[in-house]
Structure formats: structure tokens, C-alpha cells
């Protein structure tokens, strides 16, 4: 039997950061991570394996030796059973006793229940090197150029853009009326669609897959949609979301919430004393609405991991995890698109009493400088308090970091009145000018709208 103080099941971003933080907080404790696969991919960079940026999965590996410098140990194995009351976990061949247990078992891709989904040539996008290698090799060896990508969230959109760069004929299929609908309002989605369609992606919104048609040996031949149309293809990539990987937790008697994540409190504690859950497998709440949320992000997973890693043997900082603010970024062509918190559309749906402000300028000053891009910021704030509840950004790649400033403001419930007098570092080659800094200008517009209501 192996003995450890802290056992972490799963060595993705959440497991690794839990291990590093717990070693730093409790240097006398033995911390053991069990991960079922040897190779760990950087999941967020997976789409770039399908284009010209990363030639293969080898270039997307996380080097374990970096985080193992913390003193945490790693064993490649699969935990098959956990006996919570006796504090023992089992693999096929070993048993591990622990004092504290952390589930960091992550998430797995959704597969729709449609006819033909088991055909050869139909793939999801799991965080699993072997499966991604199979998908990549299938695409690289296709005899025809048509590829159908299903799902117009970040992963589908990014993979479609990358495949196009390799000369494939890419169809991007989405059930909703526009791409990235959960993260952006119309004016941003429209720009993303213009870039995608302008570069050659064949975008079919409001379209649902009915079945995958295969030949007599089960190889994919075509996709049929509910409107009766068909596209001939030998490759279908399903990017329609992920669900928490919680079977092991459920089998161990741990409570799982209605969205499928392990129930946790603000310190990531489950119902059982000394047992925690973190990352994609843990239940998420929306920071603003307090409703359960299905948004899973590495940034959220690692924030939770820092909390759990420092609270295993008692709370060190009175700072729990108060919900996901949903901060995203992506790149389309040479433009970034980022979002945090509520979109205007969501604020309307949730009946928040909000007001918006937008500003379009440039990301350098003066605009005559080389490589200057248009830059647009939209802020959404509460009408009465001015508290910021969301923001969206587009611009040159340098604009990507603006969303992190806005995220900080949303998370700290800053109001536009503090933002109006914000002191920001500006430089001609790096940012918009201080007279036209887009976050401040958008806040000014909100202030003007609020003032005009008061008169």
C-alpha cells in the first residue's frame, strides 16, 4: 500500500495547481497526484494542432518536471474506486491511503445521440493525446477536402479557422443563429462571422445534424441535416461541449449537482470531511446570477485549485471561490475577441437593470503608426449602482489583455465611477492614447446615459 497525506485524482490544470499550492502551503505533507495518462496536453492549444502553428501533439505537451519541482509526486495510473470512510483509493493493482482527497477528474466531451455517430471518421475533441493523434492522422490522410465541424462555440470556431489554413474545405455547423452566442453580443459575433466567412469557412447557422451516413464498412460518407440537406465528407468533428467526469465520485457516494458537477462549497469542500473537488469536475455557479453554470475554463479551474490547495488543513485566507465570471479570449485572423461576465443579451434575459457603453478607437496612438488596429470595447453596468457586470473587447492581438483588466473590475464589483478616473499606463506603440482609452471612454458613455436619465 502507498501512503500519502494528500491524494489528488487527476493531473490536469486543476490537479497540478492544487498539488503545487498544497506543497507550498503545507511543505511537510506528502502530496501525490494520480493521472491516468502519461502525456498531458495543453488543452487550450489543441485547436492549433489542426492548423499550421503546432505540427503535432508533441509540441503541445506540458512538461511535468516543472510542477514536480514543488516536491509533489506523480504516478501514472487510474483510480478505479474510492473508499471514503476508510480513506483508501484503489487502482487496478495498488491501494493508496490518504488523509485528504481531491477530485480533479476534469471533463469529457459530449456526444450527441444521433444516428451514425459511431461511424469511422466522427470525432470529438478530448484532452487525450492518443485520441487527438488519431483525429489528426485521419484529417491529414483524407482523400477528399471536405470537413464538417459541428459546434459554434470557441472550440468549433477555432478548429474550423485552423483547418481552413491547411487548405481544407471547412463547413462550420451551429444550431443557434450566430457563433459564440453565449460569450458575445450581436455586434461582436457579426465581426467574427465576417472574418470566418471572409476567409472561406462555410458557416451554416440554425442548422442541426440529423444523422451521419456511412458506407457498408462504417466509414463516414456524408452528414445529413434536419432540413434534409446533405454534405459529403469523410470527417466530422463534434465540438458541442463537455460534461463533468464524475462517475468515480458518484460511485464513492459523493453528491453530484443537477448540472452533473460534484457539489462543493466556496472552499471546494464536498459533503465529506477532508474530501474536495476542483476544476471541471466540480459544480460551477455564475458569479453574478448565482445560478448553476456549465462554463468550464482552465482559468476557473486553477483559481479554484489555488483556494483548495491552501485550505486542505484549515482555511488560510478568508477568500473562497465565489463563482465563475466566465472570462474568455480567442483569436480570429489577426484580431482578438474577448468577453467577461454578462453579455447584454444575458442581462436582458435575467432582467438586470443595466446600461451599456461602447467605444471604438485604435490600439496605438497616433493611428498612423504601423500595425495599428481598430479596437472596440463594450461595457455593461448596472443602471443604479454603476457596478460593472460584463465587457467585450475586440482589436489587434495586444487588446487581448484588456479583458483581464475588465475581469478584475467585474470580480471586484468596481463601478464605472471608479473607472472614470482610472490611471492607466499608455504608450504610443502599446496602447490607445490616454484621451481615448477605450475602457474609460465606454465608462464615460455609461455615465452620460445614467446622467441623462437623472435629469
Ligand X SMILES: Cc1cc2nc3c(=O)[nH]c(=O)nc-3n(C[C@H](O)[C@H](O)[C@H](O)COP(=O)(O)OP(=O)(O)OC[C@H]3O[C@@H](n4cnc5c(N)ncnc54)[C@H](O)[C@@H]3O)c2cc1C
Separation between Cα atoms, residue 439 and residue 365, nearest integer Å: 16
Please identify which residue in 279, 309, 341, 400 interacts with ligand X, judged by CB under 6 A: 279
Instruction: Kindly give, in sequence order, each residue whose CB lies less than 8 Å from that of residue 11, ignoring residues fewer than 6 positions away.
Output: 19, 33, 34, 35, 40, 64, 74, 104
Number of residues that bind ligand X (CB under 6 A): 33
The verdict on 11 binding ligand X (CB under 6 A) reads yes
Pick the binder of ligand X from 7, 19, 43, 100 (CB under 6 A). Answer: 43
3-state secondary structure of 62: coil
Q: Which is nearer to ligand X, 127 or 178 (CB)?
A: 127
Would you list the DSSP string of 7-19? Answer: EEE--SHHHHHHH
If the CB atoms of residues 155 and 450 are measured against ligand X, the closer one turns out to be 155
Q: Which is nearer to ligand X, 296 or 355 (CB)?
A: 296
CB 109, min distance to ligand X, A:
7
Q: Which of 6, 20, 32, 44 binds ligand X (CB under 6 A)?
A: 44
Hey, which residues between 13 and 32 contact ligand X (CB under 6 A)?
A: 13-15
| CA dihedral over 93, 98, 104, 110, signed as positive or negative | positive
**Long-range contact pairs involving 448-454 (C-beta distance under 8 Å, separation at least 24):** 449/355, 449/357, 450/355, 450/383, 450/386, 453/383
Selected binder of ligand X within 5, 36, 187, 444 (CB under 6 A): 36
Residue 248 near ligand X by CB under 6 A: yes
Q: In whole angstroms, give the CA distance from residue 45 to residue 150.
A: 19
Q: What is the largest CA-CA distance in the chain?
A: 74
Residue 325 is a binding residue for ligand X (CB under 6 A): no
Task: Single out the residue of 4, 22, 105, 286 in contact with ligand X (rule: CB under 6 A).
Answer: 105
Does residue 394 contact residue 335 with C-beta atoms inside 8 Å?
yes
- Interface with ligand X, residue 244, by CB under 6 A: no
Q: Does 62 bind ligand X (CB under 6 A)?
A: no
- Pairwise CA distance, residues 126 & 429, whole Å: 39
Minimum distance from CB of 376 to ligand X (Å)? 21
Distance CA 358, CA 336 (A): 17
Name which position in 6, 23, 35, 439 contacts ligand X (CB under 6 A). 35
Closest separation in Å from C-beta 10 to ligand X: 3
- Cα dihedral 232, 233, 234, 235, rounded to 10, equals -150
By beta-carbon proximity to ligand X, the closer residue of 243 and 374 is: 243
Selected from 12, 386, 391, 438, the binder of ligand X by CB under 6 A is 12
Q: Are 96 and 30 in contact (CB under 8 A)?
A: no
Angle between helices 13-25 and 298-309 (to 10 degrees): 30
Distance in Å, CB of 250 to ligand X, minimum? 12
How far is residue 427's CA from residue 368's CA, in Å, rounded to a whole number? 14
Question: What would the x/- binding string for ligand X be over residues 128 to 157, using CB under 6 A?
Answer: ---------------------------x--
For ligand X, the binding residue among 30, 37, 87, 208 (CB under 6 A) is 37
CB 267 within 8 A of CB 315: yes
- x-or-dash string of contact with ligand X, 280-319, rule CB under 6 A: x---------------xxxx-x------------------
Return the number of the residue (61 or 430) whose C-beta is nearest ligand X: 61
CA neighbor of 345 nearest in space, from 385, 296, 402, 392 = 392
Partners of residue 392 on adjacent β-strands: 339, 378
The residue within the footprint of ligand X, chosen from 125, 148, 380, 406 (CB under 6 A), is 125
Q: How far is the CB of 179 from ligand X (least distance, A)?
A: 16
Question: If residue 128 lies in a helix (H) or strand (E), which one and from where to where?
Answer: none
Residue 359 half-sphere exposure toward CB, CA atoms < 13 A: 17
Stretch that binds ligand X, among 99-107, 129-137, 347-355, 405-413 (CB under 6 A): 99-107
Cβ 193 to ligand X, closest distance in Å? 20
CB of 450 to ligand X, least distance (A): 33
- Candidate ranges 36-44, 186-194, 205-213, 251-259; the one touching ligand X (CB under 6 A): 36-44
303's grid cell: 483559481
As measured in angstroms, the least distance from the Cβ of 353 to ligand X is 30
Which three cell numbers mark 12? 490536469
Please give the residue ranges that form the binding site for ligand X (CB under 6 A).
Answer: 9-15, 34-37, 43-44, 46-47, 78-79, 104-107, 125, 127, 155, 245, 248, 279-280, 296-299, 301
Amino acid at each position: 500500500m502507498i501512503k500519502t497525506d494528500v491524494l489528488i485524482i487527476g493531473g490536469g490544470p486543476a490537479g497540478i495547481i492544487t498539488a503545487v499550492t498544497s506543497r507550498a502551503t503545507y511543505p511537510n505533507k506528502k502530496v501525490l497526484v494520480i493521472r491516468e495518462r502519461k502525456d498531458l496536453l495543453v488543452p487550450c492549444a489543441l485547436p492549433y494542432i489542426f492548423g499550421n502553428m503546432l505540427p503535432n501533439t508533441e509540441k503541445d505537451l506540458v512538461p511535468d518536471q516543472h510542477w514536480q519541482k514543488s516536491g509533489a509526486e506523480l504516478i501514472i495510473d487510474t483510480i478505479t474506486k474510492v473508499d471514503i470512510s476508510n480513506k483508501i483509493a484503489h487502482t487496478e493493482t495498488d491501494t493508496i491511503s490518504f488523509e485528504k482527497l481531491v477530485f480533479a477528474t476534469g471533463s469529457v466531451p459530449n456526444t450527441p445521440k444521433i444516428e451514425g455517430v459511431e461511424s469511422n471518421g466522427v470525432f470529438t475533441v478530448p484532452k487525450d493525446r492518443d485520441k487527438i493523434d488519431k483525429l489528426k492522422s485521419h484529417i491529414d490522410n483524407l482523400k477528399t477536402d471536405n470537413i464538417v465541424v459541428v459546434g459554434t462555440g470557441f472550440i468549433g470556431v477555432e478548429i474550423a479557422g485552423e483547418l481552413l489554413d491547411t487548405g481544407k474545405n471547412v463547413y462550420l455547423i451551429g444550431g443557434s443563429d450566430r457563433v459564440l452566442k453565449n460569450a458575445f453580443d450581436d455586434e461582436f459575433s457579426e465581426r467574427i462571422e465576417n472574418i470566418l466567412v471572409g476567409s472561406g469557412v462555410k458557416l451554416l447557422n440554425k442548422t442541426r445534424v440529423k444523422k451521419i451516413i456511412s458506407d457498408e464498412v462504417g466509414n463516414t460518407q456524408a452528414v445529413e441535416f434536419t432540413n434534409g440537406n446533405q454534405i459529403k465528407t469523410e470527417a466530422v468533428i463534434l465540438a458541442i461541449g463537455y460534461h463533468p467526469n464524475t462517475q468515480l465520485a458518484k460511485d464513492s457516494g459523493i453528491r453530484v449537482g443537477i448540472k452533473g458537477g460534484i457539489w462543493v462549497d466556496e472552499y471546494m469542500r464536498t459533503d465529506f470531511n477532508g474530501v474536495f473537488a476542483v476544476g471541471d469536475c466540480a459544480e460551477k455557479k455564475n458569479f453574478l446570477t448565482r445560478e448553476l453554470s456549465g462554463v468550464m475554463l482552465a482559468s476557473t479551474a486553477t483559481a479554484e485549485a489555488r483556494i483548495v490547495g491552501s485550505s486542505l488543513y484549515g482555511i488560510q485566507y478568508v477568500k473562497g471561490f465565489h463563482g465563475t465570471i466566465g472570462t474568455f479570449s480567442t483569436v480570429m485572423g489577426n484580431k482578438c475577441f474577448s468577453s467577461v461576465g454578462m453579455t447584454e443579451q444575458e442581462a436582458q434575459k435575467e432582467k438586470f437593470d443595466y446600461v451599456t457603453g461602447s467605444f471604438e478607437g485604435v490600439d496605438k496612438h497616433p493611428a498612423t503608426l504601423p500595425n495599428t488596429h481598430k479596437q472596440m470595447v463594450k461595457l455593461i453596468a448596472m443602471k443604479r449602482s454603476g457596478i460593472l457586470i460584463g465587457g467585450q473587447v475586440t482589436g489587434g492581438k495586444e487588446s487581448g489583455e484588456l479583458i483581464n483588466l475588465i475581469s478584475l473590475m467585474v470580480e471586484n464589483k468596481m463601478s464605472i465611477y471608479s473607472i472614470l478616473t482610472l490611471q492607466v499606463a499608455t504608450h504610443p506603440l502599446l496602447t490607445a492614447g490616454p484621451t481615448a482609452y477605450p475602457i474609460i471612454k465606454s465608462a464615460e458613455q455609461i455615465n452620460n446615459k445614467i446622467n441623462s436619465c437623472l435629469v
